[in-house]
Amino acid sequence: MGPIRRLLGRTIVPPSLFWRSILIVVLPLVILQLVLTVIFYNRHWDVVTRWLATGVAGEVALAVELLEAAPTPEAQRELLERMREYLGLRFSLEPGGRLDEAIEENGLDGWRLSHIDQKILESFEQRLDRPFVIDLRSEMPGFVVAFVQLDDGLLRVMAPRQRVTSTTTMLLMYWMVGASLVLIAVAVYFLGLQVRPIRELAKAVENFGRGVDVGDFRPRGPSEIRRAAAAFNVMRDRILRHLSQRTEMLAAISHDLRTPLTRMKLELELLGSDDPMAKELEADVGDMIELVDTYLAFVRGEEGETAEPVELRPLLEQMAQRAQRAGAETELSVPVPITSSLRPTAFRRCLANLVDNAARHGKWVRIAAERRPRAVVITIEDDGPGIPENLRETVFQPFFRVDTARRRQTGGTGLGLSIARDIVLGHGGELTFESSVKGGAKAMLRLPA
């Protein structure tokens, strides 16, 4: 049952809440219409038609017997006048008339009968024991014409359509279908009003996740949506307050750490000692300053920067030149102009970390960008040693390096990829690694289109 339920959920149930709500409203209405049409109206129409047609057929059969019993043509004409007056049917007798001639003249041969027409024909067959034919599509609007073969002529009977079958059933069905369409239109309108706040809330959450300041979201709509909007506003305020507190704390850390480190570096330079230990101490202080700067860049994440439309090709050209300056052979592929909403400084830092990492470990770097239906994909690949598959998620951990020896001469502090992923996630995208065509690493950046 599980696989079947999942298959039906993917193929029948629409993914949108709006269309699911429409399905909940429309499907029972359609089923009710089908049940009423097939079971009630169809059966009701059959019964009414059978009774009406049987009554008219009985009157025609009575007229046939009386005409056969009339002794003279004058008596037949007088009888026809009385039956026309009392029965409400139009009778005419054609002396010497033939049924086959009437069939040929009115084009009644080979007609396909509907379900209701078949019921009318069956009722006449039960009452009449004479050869007959019924014109159910007479040129006279609103009438049904029956031709009955008599011994001395052809009897022509015209009966109003409502005397043979119910004409209000279709009108009732039209009213029912029309009312259903009006109800569906009203349901679509009001469901659209209910779903609109959900879409606006989802858009606000998506924009906030991409670093766009959406301000306080105005709760509206049903109470459940208002509660969700209020919870979003509270969450947004807490996140912004946390980021503000973190920024203030980092400013204090920057002042408390960078000042003594800078003073130590200046004092070492003023000593001017050629002692190898002093040189190593000076290098260690420089490394500490670099490490503090890198750590601050990682945790700061450029909170104050706002997103704006950025053309990717000039930015990627700068990254290609950066890789060339690092001594790598570069390729750039941006087939069409692509513009994406980015925080320029932060995203430039993300690309720089990835490009520096590729140029550090390889001699060939390829940078490409393409627009897909739902995403903008940027790839940066190299021909270096690559990243083992079991470490492609671990490399994003802060201070983790594939080089377990953590040698400073190999470059890097172990925070570059962590910063890059943090920035990509802040844009609402994702960053993963795959294998390059030349065996190295291939960074895949997917951003919302």
225 confidence band (pLDDT: 50, 70, 90): confident
Average pLDDT over residues 378-402: 85
Average pLDDT over residues 200-211: 79
- Stretch among 103-112, 132-141, 185-194, 426-435 having the lowest mean pLDDT: 103-112
- Stretch among 81-95, 171-185, 280-294 having the lowest mean pLDDT: 280-294
Distance CA 431, CA 315 (A): 18
**Phi and psi for 272 in degrees, rounded to 5?**
60, 30
Question: What pLDDT does 114 receive?
Answer: 62
Does domain 199-300 correspond to CATH entry 1.10.287.130? yes
Question: What pLDDT does 380 receive?
Answer: 94
Res. 393: pLDDT tops 80: yes
Distance CA 194, CA 196 (A): 6
Question: What pLDDT does 407 receive?
Answer: 47
147 confidence band (pLDDT: 50, 70, 90): confident
**Phi and psi for 297 in degrees, rounded to 5?**
-65, -35
85 against 227, higher pLDDT = 227
* Residues carrying CATH 3.30.565.10, the chain: 306-448
13 against 449, higher pLDDT = 449
416 confidence band (pLDDT: 50, 70, 90): confident
* Residues carrying CATH 1.10.287.130, the chain: 199-300
Nearest Cα to 346, choosing from 305, 313, 294? 305
Q: What percent of the chain has pLDDT over 90?
A: 12
Query: What DSSP state is assigned to residue 339?
Result: E
Measured from the Cβ of residue 430, the count of other Cβ atoms closer than 10 Å reads 13
418 confidence band (pLDDT: 50, 70, 90): confident
Take residue 174 and report the two structure tokens written for it. 């039209």
Res. 406: pLDDT tops 50: no
Q: In whole angstroms, how far apart are CA 230 and each of 68, 203, 212, 241?
A: 90, 15, 19, 17
Distance CA 130, CA 149 (A): 6
- Stretch among 81-85, 118-122, 334-338, 339-343 having the lowest mean pLDDT: 118-122
- Using DSSP's 3-state secondary structure scheme, residue 247 falls into helix
Average pLDDT over residues 419-433: 86
Distance CA 433, CA 380 (A): 10
Which pLDDT tens digit goes with each residue over 226-262? 888 888 888 888 888 887 777 677 667 766 777 787 7
Q: What is the CATH number of domain 306-448?
A: 3.30.565.10
Take residue 379 and report the two structure tokens written for it. 């790839």
Res. 211: pLDDT tops 70: no
Question: What pLDDT does 405 receive?
Answer: 42
Res. 340: pLDDT tops 60: yes
Question: What pLDDT does 333 receive?
Answer: 92
Which H helix or E strand runs over 319?
A: helix 312-325
Burial class (CB in 10 A: 0-12, 13-18, 19+), 224: exposed
Question: What pLDDT does 403 receive?
Answer: 62
Which pLDDT tens digit goes with each residue over 7-48? 545 556 666 777 777 777 778 878 887 777 777 666 777 777
Which pLDDT tens digit goes with each residue over 50-81? 888 888 888 888 888 888 888 888 888 888 88
